[in-house]
Structure 1
Amino acid sequence: MNTCLFFGQELHNTNSFPSLEKQIKPINKFGVKIYDDYVNLNKLEDPQVLDWFKAQDSLAEAYFSENRLFNNFLVKFEEYQNREKTAIRLIEINEKGNYFFIKYDEVEAREKLYFKEDVNSKAVEIFDPKSHGEITYLKPSFDGLKVAIGFHSDKKFSSIIRFLNIETGEFYQDQITNINPSFGGIEWLPDSSGFIYLYFPVIDQSSSGYKKNSYSVIHKLGEDPNLRKEVFGRNNIVNIPIDFYPKVKINSSADEYIIGYSASSNDYYDAYIAKISDLLSGKIIWEPFFKIKHKVFTTEGVVRDNQFIFRQGNNLGNQISSVNIISPNFNNPDLLAEGTLENPINQLALNKDNVYFSKSKFGVEVSLWKINDKGRIIQLKPPFVPGYATFFGGTITSSLIGVELDGWTSNYTRFLISGNDSLFEEGLQVETFYPEFKNLISEQIMIKSHDGVEVPLSLVYDPQTLKGSLNEVFIYVYGAYGESLSPFFYPIFLNWAAQGGILAFPHVRGGGEKGKIWHEQGQKLFKFNSWKDLIACTEGLIQKGFTQKGLISLYTSSAGGITAGMAVNERPDLFSSFIAEVPRLNPHGLESSQTVSSTSYLEYGSVKDSLEYIGLVKMDPYYNLKIGKEYPATLIISASQDDRIPLWDSGKYVAKLQSITNGNIPVLLDIDYQNSHDNFGYNDIVKLYSKIFSFAKNNMSGKQNRY
């Protein structure tokens, strides 16, 4: 039976929460009974629902318009951003060593596309996007004569890709739509005459076919883009599930083989292999290559000479392996290098001479390694101990290879690796200085969780400004998809520590800080470990005298919404505020949705499996909000153009929480109507984090200026 409830009480001399009719839908499956209190919010096309969301956004905007701290942060963060205006982004290097990148033009106050023949050459402007909008994607061809350029589309999910002729400065007629580079971009053919891309037939988020039945197509420049010649995806030979993504990989102009992947949100894929010559002749024959059971990490594998070299998962700390391409034996590959549980191998790259890989100790201390042509393993010596590293420029046709290094207190820098294994600065970017952060230090401590397992916890602070147990703490947590919360140098975050606070980063289970097992221990039925690790780390900060209740703000984003949301549900007393950006707060609802179009069930569980269904309910922050609990001040930031997490996901959580709190605390839903899940504009970032940090600061104990 449906019931109706209207609420809306006065909130400290401001407007009440927007009124909403509560429509309750009982759900009984596998003997588990739950109630969806706001099922009406699923109808995003309903004018009344849209008005409710707009009213929520207006309430949030009013809160920040009257907030002194917000404006203070805005000024400070804009100053940081202005220092970075000469920064370069979307740097792409092809195998000839040509550089393509986006750089801000201070004279004309906008970004442009530049080209350098090599790292030591002069940068030349090759495209001004003033009449096209912001550039979101770049992929140069192997021959250096063309570059694929991505732009925003009026469609929520799809981008528009055009192709610039470097010699003439003109665009080719070809224009590709129904493509999302986040799922699979442009893979140039070895001769650069065309490319392969992942095509999505349905990009309407309201359709049941949304993002499903995608397939890879080959396109030669000059042909009609609407021909869409399928090369991998919808046939009985490869048999790829409709919600997986059949994408391909071509590494270099010298490649003789193309590899197709049945891609998903899993770490491991099924893969198929074919000859490039058959592809170009139009008679491609795909052969099975490796299976999920062989634990080959996503697309981290390269064919060089007669060997396929790849990163492989194991029960310890991953390994670098090799098989013969003609007769591959993935059950018994050649072992080239291996990691440990505490220090797993987390990345692989190749050039024509060597194999490079990195290890990451507890997710925050990176070491760099090389395997030479004789199989000898050599450790490289970077200028500082990085917390994050990623290789770039590696291809089997060139000796050029570099690495990007970053850390909690060490600024992002790009280095090239010389033939004698030394690292020297690439020099492409002008270094930006931040003397205000010179006193900051970082450390990692270990906290015992509910089951005795030790959880790494990274802290960043200024030891000269610590105030005993009165330090204001800003926690950032994620814990999903095996992604490590790696160190990053970001002035907008470091400002918190420079002003006397503590930044805390719990490396909870569900991430990859201790290898694949660490991920699996925070998945599906074991997801509870993620939020219990977070609770233990928060309690540990208090017990070790860093802080106390009322001085701890919790922030997360995307899939971290489950970890953080459930920690708040179980221990709301620990947190002064809860802030979540484009969060997943109703995983049961999303996996049950008729338009669900991702493979996230591989991470959280399926509604079709009785045990996994129970796990989904137990990890759902929306369903587990309870009347009678005192929750912290809450700010949920959502994006109306989000292609992964629909607006109703956050809306339901906020509606239910507002009905429970009855206006005693701020519960805000701030909606970004311009951007998508992870694509915020240059100026939008400043405003976003000004809201986040001002809300955190404003709601510390004794500082509540609620409205």
Structure 2
Amino acid sequence: MKYYFSTILLLVLTSCTSQKSNSIEYPYLENSNKSVNEHGIEYSSIFSNLEDVEDPKTKKWLSIQDSLVRDYYSSNSIQEYIGSLDYIHKTTNPDYYWLKNSNNAYYYWRDNDSTQVLYKRSRITNELKPIFSANYDYTIHWYKPNKEGTMFILFISDSIGDYLRVIDINNKEILFETAKDMNTQQVSYAVWANEKQFIFTGWPNPDNSKNSYLALADISNGSIKKIMTGDHIPEHNEEHFIRPNISYGSDILQALLISGSESYEGFYTSLKTVANKPTWKQVMYVKDSVLYYPKERNGHMYFLRYKNGQKNLVKTTVNNIKDASKDIVLFKPEGDYIITSYAISNDNAYVITSKYGIEHKLYAIDKENKVKLLELDYPITGLRFYTYDTRLGMATLLQSSWKENYVFIDIDDSLNIKINEEITRKTPSEFRDIITEIVEVRSFDGTIVPMTILKSKDFDRSNPQKAIITAYGSYGISMEPYYSNHVLNFVKEGNIFAIAHARGGSEKGLAWYTDAIKTNKYRSWKDLLACSQFLKDSAYTAPERLGIYFSSAGGITAGMAINENPQMFKAAVGEVPLLNPLRLSYQENYNASDNDYDFGTTSTLEGLKSLLALDPVYNLKPNKKYPNTLIINGELDELIPTYDAAKYIAFLQNHSIKDDRIYLLDIIKDEGHALDTDTTTEKALFFFNNEL
């Protein structure tokens, strides 16, 4: 039987007239509606002409979009809005980034007149000194010190290309350097094996992340040797990448085949053999429910494994990883709590648990497997491990909440807990009267969905103001507390900011995630719609004053919620959103494998049907009133192509009922998927303030 799917035939205009809305004159763009047939299903890919970003017509259209959004910012006085936030910027905060530890010191970078400077703070003498500067000719993207802090791996970009370099900090000597043809998409996959060797992930083509391999770099002689490829792995495809995993000084070298799932294929060999002919043994399969990357300490492997649908921290030997019956369970959460992260230090294991992704607790497990709840200022939110190493006797945690700025907490293996005041950030006093409230919302199928609401202490429901709701609902990632000055400023003015903990995340465990993938993805956006309606019904906001804020894979959750009920929202802002996943696998130099597990793949009939049902661009309908929309994207986004957001905006500008609606595309030049959060949030809140 032949299936036929289409978004409804769109009227292709042949004239070059423009369409006008609210004094904004939108450029006409011809809709090259491409017909695609996969697995006997025919569907239409709208505005397929935008997939060619080098086409002169596409470039011209994008240039006009840039002018439109600049005019909007200027005519609505964005600089005045930014000026009103001076009190935020006057709150002095350290500008340190990339904190890392070694045995007796910690390190961080600061920018000094556009030059990156690496600083070292001694934990013994408290002495602070600069130890390395990057000059104007290159940029540091990532770094990793060895155990003693005497050598650093740097990932560098210069005018020629991208490469790894090893430097001796004491004498500033360059000890090792790769060719300048590295791939920037996974810069952090290099690990120290010992004082003379490190392992890194490489790709044969610097322009894409396909056909990855592992390489052994020997600092003593400058050699690089490939030690593993995917050629002999049955489960491997070119979009998976191979990640090294080894504890400093260990002989146990792991290779993990990374895919869209949170469980991976895993292999092991002895580091002693890799210089000659390594023999890899598979010790872990996806079906074994080992989550992410096992950590090794003294011959034991520590990792999270699902047992009865619940994450447990366990330990075993490398050869017994696939045999769950031989696990030693170190920690099992109780009640509604789940394990969100863990760390292994020289003597202890540490576990962070979370209730609904909101309330956190910290535990320590010693070498005798005794568990202790550590004394923090409970209730505490937004707790995660920032940096740790199995060969160090400490770990650093980052704690934040919806209304408190980042606090860095050091804990050593004697369980001494100390706030690192030097790098902890301050919260403006103006936010002291903001509170959080947790409500439970009944979704369309009776499921109870938690929602966090930020509001002023004296919020008056009899006079509802503006409200913004956000959700993610993808990859099993919980919407855990994060701090934003701009969001809190919005709330301080009497408005509401709400976080819907929709299915597709893992706030309530594994089932909360897997109940909203592929053909069941609709549960994510229906949860979001239920929470949105709750805000209106409970007088947190007026019917016409609700906005929706989303980013990355949250674009599917939000985009489909808008498609299903566009009248629910008055305004929408997306930051680097995924809006056309159906077309991602067709694009050269983009890796779609991360999406296969959650959303589906065009390589199978079932996966294609799933993608057709959840793709926001494909499911747009002409002649509907969509909310005022601003999409902010990075020009060089390595995860989501520029055309993704461009198609969405092109459709709204050309085929919706516009009236006085605003549809804008802001592409940030020379930026990728990780945009500057302060700048994009500033623009988003400015747009919401104008349009709600």
Q: TM-score range by the shorter chain?
A: over 0.9
1:215 aligns with 213
- Asked if 1:43 corresponds to 2:43, the answer is no
Q: Equivalents in 1 of 2:209, 2:653: separation in Å?
A: 33
Q: How does 1:96-115 map to 2 (within 5 A)?
A: 96-105=103-112, 111-115=116-120
Aligned partner (choices 154, 169, 176) of residue 166 of structure 1: 169
Q: Equivalents in 2 of 1:53, 1:91: separation in Å?
A: 38
Q: Equivalents in 2 of 1:132, 1:483: separation in Å?
A: 38
- Asked if 1:644 corresponds to 2:639, the answer is yes
- Contact kept in structure 1, 2:22 and 2:662, CA below 8 Å: no
- Contact kept in structure 1, 2:570 and 2:691, CA below 8 Å: yes
- Asked if 1:52 corresponds to 2:45, the answer is no
| Secondary structure of 1:550's aligned partner | strand
Q: Equivalents in 2 of 1:584, 1:489: separation in Å?
A: 23
| Secondary structure of 1:678's aligned partner | coil
Measure how far apart 1:549 and its partner are. Answer: 1.7
| Secondary structure of 1:542's aligned partner | helix
- Contact kept in structure 1, 2:637 and 2:673, CA below 8 Å: yes
- Contact kept in structure 1, 2:283 and 2:319, CA below 8 Å: no
Q: 1:612 to 1:461 in 2, by over 3 A?
A: same
Q: 1:687 to 1:349 in 2, by over 3 A?
A: closer
- Please tell me the residue identity of whatever aligns with 2:679: K
- Please tell me the residue identity of whatever aligns with 1:57: D
Aligned partner (choices 666, 680, 688) of residue 696 of structure 1: 688
| Secondary structure of 1:456's aligned partner | strand
- Please tell me the residue identity of whatever aligns with 1:215: Y
Q: How does 1:503-522 map to 2 (within 5 A)?
A: 503-522=497-516
| Secondary structure of 1:83's aligned partner | coil
1:704 aligns with none
Measure how far apart 1:97 and its partner are. Answer: 3.2
| CA shift digits 1:387-444 (9 cap, x unpaired) | 2222245333332223221111232111122455352213332542410111111121
Length-normalised TM-score, structure 1: 0.90
- Contact kept in structure 2, 1:290 and 1:330, CA below 8 Å: no
- Asked if 1:275 corresponds to 2:270, the answer is yes
- Asked if 1:350 corresponds to 2:344, the answer is yes
2:94 aligns with 86
Aligned partner (choices 68, 73, 77) of residue 81 of structure 2: 73
- Contact kept in structure 1, 2:337 and 2:356, CA below 8 Å: yes
Measure how far apart 1:30 and its partner are. Answer: 4.7
Q: Equivalents in 2 of 1:331, 1:109: separation in Å?
A: 51
Q: 1:171 to 1:597 in 2, by over 3 A?
A: same
- Please tell me the residue identity of whatever aligns with 1:199: G
- Contact kept in structure 2, 1:7 and 1:659, CA below 8 Å: no
2:383 aligns with 389
Q: How does 1:134-283 map to 2 (within 5 A)?
A: 134-152=139-157, 159-172=162-175, 174-175=177-178, 177-179=180-182, 183=186, 185-204=188-207, 210-221=208-219, 228-236=224-232, 240-253=236-249, 255-279=250-274, 281-283=275-277
Q: Equivalents in 2 of 1:515, 1:161: separation in Å?
A: 38
Q: Equivalents in 1 of 2:100, 2:92: separation in Å?
A: 19
Measure how far apart 1:485 and its partner are. Answer: 0.9
Q: 1:638 to 1:119 in 2, by over 3 A?
A: farther
| CA shift digits 1:333-377 (9 cap, x unpaired) | 222222357311111111122211111100011111112222222
**More deviation, 227-236/520-529:** 227-236
- Please tell me the residue identity of whatever aligns with 1:291: Y
Q: Equivalents in 2 of 1:348, 1:267: separation in Å?
A: 15
Q: How does 1:367-406 map to 2 (within 5 A)?
A: 367-406=361-400
1:9 aligns with 19
Q: 1:30 to 1:548 in 2, by over 3 A?
A: farther
1:129 aligns with 134
Q: 1:239 to 1:282 in 2, by over 3 A?
A: farther
Length-normalised TM-score, structure 2: 0.92
- Please tell me the residue identity of whatever aligns with 2:681: Y
Q: Equivalents in 2 of 1:133, 1:245: separation in Å?
A: 27
Q: 1:52 to 1:450 in 2, by over 3 A?
A: same
- Contact kept in structure 1, 2:491 and 2:497, CA below 8 Å: yes
Measure how far apart 1:23 and its partner are. Answer: 1.4
- Asked if 1:618 corresponds to 2:613, the answer is yes
- Please tell me the residue identity of whatever aligns with 1:546: Y
Q: 1:8 to 1:613 in 2, by over 3 A?
A: same
- Asked if 1:491 corresponds to 2:485, the answer is yes
Q: Equivalents in 1 of 2:453, 2:654: separation in Å?
A: 36
- Contact kept in structure 1, 2:246 and 2:296, CA below 8 Å: no
Measure how far apart 1:690 and its partner are. Answer: 2.4
| Secondary structure of 1:561's aligned partner | helix
Q: Equivalents in 1 of 2:619, 2:233: separation in Å?
A: 44
Q: 1:181 to 1:469 in 2, by over 3 A?
A: farther
| Secondary structure of 2:227's aligned partner | strand
Q: How does 1:565-576 map to 2 (within 5 A)?
A: 565-576=559-570
- Please tell me the residue identity of whatever aligns with 2:68: L
| CA shift digits 1:98-128 (9 cap, x unpaired) | 31211355xx576521112326521111123
Q: Equivalents in 2 of 1:37, 1:401: separation in Å?
A: 50
| Secondary structure of 2:21's aligned partner | coil
Aligned length: 679
Provide structure 2 residue ranges, at least 5 long, that are not aligned to the other structure: 1-8
2:4 aligns with none
Measure how far apart 1:239 and its partner are. Answer: 5.8
Measure how far apart 1:468 and its partner are. Answer: 2.7
Q: How does 1:592-611 map to 2 (within 5 A)?
A: 592-593=586-587, 596-599=590-593, 600-611=595-606
Percent identical: 24
Q: How does 1:282-361 map to 2 (within 5 A)?
A: 282-299=276-293, 301-328=294-321, 330-332=323-325, 333-339=327-333, 342-361=336-355
- Please tell me the residue identity of whatever aligns with 1:320: L
Q: Equivalents in 1 of 2:549, 2:213: separation in Å?
A: 37
Q: Equivalents in 2 of 1:121, 1:272: separation in Å?
A: 42
- Please tell me the residue identity of whatever aligns with 2:147: F
Measure how far apart 1:691 and its partner are. Answer: 1.6
Instruction: Point out which structure has higher relative CO (alpha carbons under 8 A, 6+ apart).
Output: 1
Q: Equivalents in 1 of 2:687, 2:668: separation in Å?
A: 17
Q: Equivalents in 2 of 1:634, 1:552: separation in Å?
A: 13
Q: Equivalents in 2 of 1:143, 1:419: separation in Å?
A: 18
Q: Equivalents in 2 of 1:304, 1:203: separation in Å?
A: 34
Q: 1:515 to 1:671 in 2, by over 3 A?
A: same
| CA shift digits 1:506-557 (9 cap, x unpaired) | 1111112112221111211111111001000000111122112211111111
Q: Equivalents in 2 of 1:153, 1:315: separation in Å?
A: 50
Q: Equivalents in 2 of 1:657, 1:361: separation in Å?
A: 39
- Please tell me the residue identity of whatever aligns with 1:346: T
Q: Equivalents in 2 of 1:13, 1:393: separation in Å?
A: 51
Q: Equivalents in 2 of 1:328, 1:610: separation in Å?
A: 34
- Please tell me the residue identity of whatever aligns with 1:161: L
| CA shift digits 1:50-75 (9 cap, x unpaired) | 1111111111111111112x223322
Q: Equivalents in 1 of 2:237, 2:303: separation in Å?
A: 24
Q: 1:149 to 1:479 in 2, by over 3 A?
A: same
Q: Equivalents in 1 of 2:639, 2:491: separation in Å?
A: 32
- Contact kept in structure 1, 2:465 and 2:495, CA below 8 Å: yes
